Structure 1
Amino acid sequence: MRADRLMNIMILLQNRGKMTAKELANELEVSDRTILRDMDALSTAGIPVVSDRGKEGGWRLLDNFRSKLSGLNMDDMKSLFLFPSGKLLEDLGLNSQALDTRHKLLAAIPGTYRDEAQAMWERIHIDSGTWRQSKEKAHALKTVQQAVWESKKLKIDYEQVDGKQKERLIEPLGLVAKGNKWYLVASRDGELRNYRVSRIHSTKIENETFSRPLHFNLAAYWEQSKVEFIQKLPKYDVQVEIHPEIMKRINFTGKFVQVIDTENQHENEWIPATLRFNDKQEAIEFILGFANKIKVVSPNDLPDKVVSLAKSVIDFYHHE
């Protein structure tokens, strides 16, 4: 473990130039004291690490030193060839270079890695799109991307859930591709917020730049944001029994099914399950769609609601 950590310290210093003991400790999840001991070990091993004191101080490698240890293993090397969806690269204006980049990388890596890296490239393809072409267009993406690169404030007209547009002045911090959709993570009035790029109707890059929040990590923030979003989603659970005839269809959609208890299948072969919906109306419409193949166990008032909707459909077509 310590040998790996020492190698990681060298790679971090090589890539970032200078880091304090605290920054290294946070990055490697160890104590400041451990980092100081590691620096002593590197010096003893002949690695020229030096400490600059003062406000702008920190640890660094001597300018004329470059480690020959990349720290890359076989899995690391192969993962470099798992490029994201071509559509996402095209959105960022990078698609035309994608194949050239991999060819260059293949030519640059050691021969011992080359065959397996090329095999990974030829056998794995990542497509983040949907089966049906989305009509959603992120027309503002190019301007948003420029503002992110240049750390400039951005004025946007943003469409809210209710369809109304409001002007916002934001500090764009990063772009996230979720599936085939783009989201902008930005700071507004000191708070981090997420904006769906397709809902941005107009943009204007301001001349004023901004400073990124200290220690902001886009990937870590997004993962936490997803957790919080899911926790806030409304949920309406329904206990049901499902006829085996439609089990494959239920499992295939996967959208509403939370628990299916096949071990406790009833003598009549009906299967207990829990379905989770956003609200009661969504549950009523879904259950009605399967006619007499889903039986509601609870909530107790739900069967009457399903019957009421069924009667309204019958009445509607009888009067046509």
Structure 2
Amino acid sequence: MRASRLVTLLLLLQNRGRMTAKELAGELEVSVRTVYRDVEALGAAGIPLYGAAGHAGGYRLVDGYRTRLTGLTADEAQAAFLAALPGAAAELGLGEALATAQLKLRAALPAELRAHAGQIQERFLLDAPGWYGDADRTPHLAAVAAAVWARRAVVLRYRRWRAPEEIERRVEPYGLVLKAGRWYLVAGGPSGIRTYRIDQILGLRPLEEQFVLPDGFDLAGHWTGHLAGFRARLHTGEALVRLTPEGARRLGVTPTDDGWTQALVPIESIDHAHGEFLRMGTDVEVMAPAELRDRIAETARTLATRYEG
């Protein structure tokens, strides 16, 4: 623990140039007396630092003492700091590790790139979840992540949408994916590779047995294929519609010059399309299929009757 704190103290001084004992104590969450002892230990280990008293005093490293990363460009430094996801790391129990890693990276950068990296974090923030709906509760995420890392099988108690709604299954956790603020587990099981929502895991029991990934398995490649298959299964039908210029814009259709645009658009199901097209109000008219047109017409008549009074 103390060795880690000494490294952090050194990196803080490399990053900021000069810090008082009180400032260091606040960053390290220790007493000022502990900072004094740590500074003495660094000096005894040959680290060239010195302290000055007074209003402008504090501890600093001798100019030029710095570990540098060689060959890192400004764009690479930007990418490194943009790629860090503090929210995701915290959910995985790695928030402190990420902060320390960023501190080490910043300390090792040359001065001009260090300033550039600081500007990235000042000007860009990734907030992945959508606006509507509460954040998923993922109490088992850390345990799943540990199993993924250790390549150990687990027994999941899982809630799914079809009967039986609650199942128990032994799976081999291959990897974790964060998609639009929601965590997913890609795992091998009795019926092949499946995807599980972490927030639907009701219980988890780690097993001692380890597993080996299938030959050629690539998490990113598998996820890309999974998304392509999901989209193909999602849009299994089509609807012929007429759109106002605003309706065409909302559906991403190129409008025609006469004001109304006719287009064939993919739909997931009659029920889903019914709700989606109703949201567009008078900017869309469904021409086909007849079942969808009749459903929307019936809803419109019911609404008109309800609001007549």
Same topology, TM > 0.5: yes
- 1:173 maps to which residue? 174
Residues 1:261 and 2:254 are matched in the alignment: yes
Q: Contact (CA 8 Å) 1:182, 1:198: kept in 2 or not?
A: yes
Once the 2 structures are TM-superposed, how far is the Cα of residue 169 of structure 1 from its aligned partner? 0.4
Alignment of 1:192-231 (within 5 A): 192-231=193-232
Looking at structure 2, the residues matched to 219 and 174 of structure 1 have their Cα atoms a distance apart, in angstroms, of 10
Q: Deviations over 1:84-117 (max 9, x none)?
A: 4432121111223434432321111234533333
- The one-letter code sitting in structure 2 at the alignment partner of 1:279 is S
- What is the count of residue pairs matched by the alignment? 241
Q: TM-score under structure 1 normalisation?
A: 0.65
Distance 2:293 2:132 in 1: 35
Q: Does 1:94 align with 2:94?
A: yes
In 1: Cα distance, 2:191 partner to 2:287 partner: 48
- TM-score normalized with structure 2 length: 0.67
Give the structure 2 partner of residue 147 of structure 1. 147
Once the two structures are overlaid, the 10-residue window that deviates more, 101-110 or 173-182, is: 101-110
Residue in 2 that maps onto 1:15: none
Structure 2 counterpart of 1:105: 105
In 2 relative to 1, CA 179–293 (structure 1 residues): closer, same or farther, beyond 3 Å?
Answer: closer
Aligned to 1:161: 161
Please give the secondary structure, in 2, of the residue aligned with 1:158.
strand
- How far did 1:141 drift? 0.9
Identity value in percent: 26
Unpaired runs of at least 5, structure 2? 1-67
Task: Name the amino acid aligned to 1:310.
Answer: A
Q: 1:190 to 1:313 in 2, by over 3 A?
A: closer
Q: Are the aligned partners of 2:156 and 2:201 in contact in 1 as well (CA < 8 Å)?
A: yes
CA gap 1:295/1:190 in 2 versus in 1, 3 angstroms: closer
Q: Deviation digits for residues 205-242 of structure 1, max 9, x if unmatched?
A: 01111122233222222122211221222333223222
- C-alpha distance 284-69 of structure 1, shift in aligned 2 (>3 A): closer
Alignment of 1:5-16 (within 5 A): none
Residues 137 and 69 from structure 1, CA distance in 2 versus in 1: closer, same or farther, beyond 3 angstroms?
closer
Q: What SS is found at the alignment partner of 1:120?
A: helix
Paired residues for 1:226-305 under 5 Å = 226-244=227-245, 246-247=246-247, 251=250, 257=251, 259-262=252-255, 264-266=256-258, 269-300=259-290, 302-305=292-295
Gaps of 5+ in 1: 1-67, 252-256
CA-to-partner distance for each residue in 1:253-311, whole Å, 9 max, x for gaps? xxxx2x5122x231xx2344444321122223333444444222333554333223333
